Amino acid sequence: MPFSTLPTLLSEALTARGYAAPTPVQAAVLEPEAQGRDLIVSAQTGSGKTVAFGLAIAPELIDEDGKPRHAFAPLALAIAPTRELALQVSRELEWLYAGARLRVVTCVGGMDAAKERRALAGGAHIVVGTPGRLRDHLERGALDLSSLKAAILDEADEMLDMGFREDLEEILDATPEGRRTLLFSATMPRPIVALAKRYQKDAFTISTVGQDRGHGDISYQCVSLAPADIEHAVVNLLRYHEAETAILFAATRENVRRLHASLVERGFDAVTLSGEHSQNERNQALQALRDGRARVCVATDVAARGIDLPNLTLVIHVEIPRDPEALQHRSGRTGRAGKKGTAILLVPYPRRKKVEFLLRDARVTAEWIRTPTAAEINARDRERLLEKLQEPVEIDEQDREMAAKLLETRTPEDIAAMLVASLRAKLPAPEDMVDAGERERGPKEHRQGFDDVVWFRMNVGRRQNADPRWLLPLLCRRGHMTRNEIGAIRIQQHETHFALPRAAAGRFLAAVKRTAHEEGDEAAVLFEQMEGGARPPQPGPQRNGPNAPAPKRYEAKPYKPKKQHRG
């Protein structure tokens, strides 16, 4: 469906912005049955919904000739959960209605409230803001909603999750009875349904989630790894993709600070976004990402709401999203406006089942991959360097003079090699990752040093998603062992057996006792020497029959993380 049905001023603005045809949600709000009605729209982040509700309220703002409708107070109100999203919405509506010369005023926390009140007093056709700041202006008498024709709630589900229900209700209660209410939400939980019933009449429902769910322009990948390897995996993924802009999601402010410091130390140009930053600091971080001074952003979920970075092509979920909605909102920072993006989840081995359920509930298909190795990263570097060096560049006379002087003392091969070396030196070094290895490590008793071994058991098995790629680094770290000192590893249903040289057994037990206080998902893993250190019985079909004795279970105690402040 083309934009030809719109007023000329709007269609010209869309064409100038590069819109050839409407997205599914934009086409849906322009259908005849949606005209003039309350709307409930389920659409994913990045689906073009901001322009969609801008087009949907056009009849309330301009007449058939494209001229602005006269009003003494705002005709439209758009409410968004965060400052960044509100500012983004404001910018979108400004260029969309620039031809009609509509005045858009933004009211968000962290900005000069007195300046906003003066702007409201000067008159506005559209007001865009966050719930708390809008409520404040309303209670002070600076915001007059008596003439309002349309109210838009953008990302309504997120606003309710953030505790803005009372603010929204007070604002909507102050609007005229006959106004339109347009509710945009990626999901439709019960609180959203209740809000719609209270403030909407005969609402028309639009859902493009089936078409957009999982973001067709986003490639999802999952990386299985040991919890201790997460930071190294982040480094290698960033180096492998070398995205123009990437965002890393962590769960807490503390984890954001720690990961950011680690990346900066390694040579990455990175910034942070979390709830502890002022609006000015957030603006500076976003500007650094937009102008290329920084390429990596480490952020919490709340801080990254509403971020729109045109060149963002990589999202890494350093910590697993709490639910399918968080997965979609995080990943939706990329793959926007028809551009391709990649979203990668880092999955500790013990939590693979949880992530599989998460992906299923989000209706997302992900490819399970391993962490890129240093050799693979170096190969990609060579390809990128060759492409970069073969790009056409402008050369002036001074450059040619310098090249001639270099050729007097160096060969062309030497000069080319020095250029490659200088470019490579700017790249952070990749990390050496533990080899993925086999599904189960084979017997090593007959190798030198393994003629006399002691067997141990761990209280995790296949039921807890135990995997040698997780267990081997864990044994090395907790037991202060080297990889070559660990023998066969046999994973059972509820426990795991492993062999150590008898000479190293005492040292191993002493080390795991000293490291028992460590926190994390691995804190509940227990180690026990088997009676007499004898070899465990070999698993076989005879042990799985109906008369087989029930195995003794060593269930891990559930890990209870300390409460940390989010966002």
Among 2-11, 436-445, 504-513, the minimum mean pLDDT is found in 436-445
Please report the pLDDT score of residue 317 as a whole number. 96
Mean pLDDT across the stretch 477-505? Answer: 87
Please report the pLDDT score of residue 250 as a whole number. 93
Is the per-residue pLDDT at 426 higher than 90? no
Among 248-262, 316-330, 411-425, 431-445, the minimum mean pLDDT is found in 431-445
Q: Band of the pLDDT at 555, cuts 50, 70, 90?
A: very low
CATH architecture designation of domain 453-543: 2-Layer Sandwich (3.30)
Is the per-residue pLDDT at 545 higher than 50? no
Is the per-residue pLDDT at 440 higher than 60? no
User: For the structural domain made of 218-373, what CATH number should be given?
Assistant: 3.40.50.300
Instruction: State both tokens at 65.
Output: 């000739």
Please report the pLDDT score of residue 521 as a whole number. 58
pLDDT digits (tens, 9 = 90+) for 246-268: 999 999 999 999 999 999 988 99
CB 99 within 8 A of CB 67: no
Which CA distances in Å does 130 have to 80, 161, 222, 225, 329? 5, 14, 35, 40, 18
For the chain, the residue count is 567
Is the per-residue pLDDT at 467 higher than 90? no
Q: Band of the pLDDT at 496, cuts 50, 70, 90?
A: very high
Is the per-residue pLDDT at 484 higher than 90? no
CA triplet 338, 344, 350: central angle to 5 degrees? 150
Among 85-99, 194-208, 510-524, the minimum mean pLDDT is found in 510-524
Could you tell me which residue, 550 or 507, shows the higher pLDDT? 507
The residues spanned by each domain of the chain are 3-212, 218-373, 376-425, 453-543
Query: Distance (Å, rounded) from C-alpha 473 to C-alpha 495?
Result: 17
Query: Distance (Å, rounded) from C-alpha 546 to C-alpha 540?
Result: 13
Could you tell me which residue, 491 or 560, shows the higher pLDDT? 491
Is the per-residue pLDDT at 444 higher than 70? no
Please report the pLDDT score of residue 504 as a whole number. 87
Please report the pLDDT score of residue 558 as a whole number. 46
Which CA distances in Å does 383 have to 20, 196, 364, 390, 548? 34, 54, 31, 11, 58
pTM score of the predicted model: 0.58
Q: Band of the pLDDT at 323, cuts 50, 70, 90?
A: confident
Domains 218-373 and 453-543 equal at CATH topology level: no
Is the per-residue pLDDT at 465 higher than 70? yes
Q: Band of the pLDDT at 200, cuts 50, 70, 90?
A: very high
User: For the structural domain made of 3-212, what CATH number should be given?
Assistant: 3.40.50.300
| Contacting residues for 97 by C-beta, under 8 A, at least 6 apart | 9, 10, 13, 54, 61, 62, 104, 125, 126
Q: What is the mean pLDDT of the chain?
A: 83
The percentage of the chain sitting over the pLDDT mark of 70, rounded to a whole number, equals: 85
pLDDT digits (tens, 9 = 90+) for 59-104: 999 887 778 888 789 999 999 988 888 988 999 999 999 888 899 9
Among 347-361, 375-389, 412-426, the minimum mean pLDDT is found in 412-426
Please report the pLDDT score of residue 145 as a whole number. 94
| Contacting residues for 525 by C-beta, under 8 A, at least 6 apart | 458, 459, 460, 474, 478, 556
pLDDT digits (tens, 9 = 90+) for 118-155: 999 999 999 999 999 999 999 999 999 999 999 999 98
Mean pLDDT across the stretch 156-178? Answer: 88
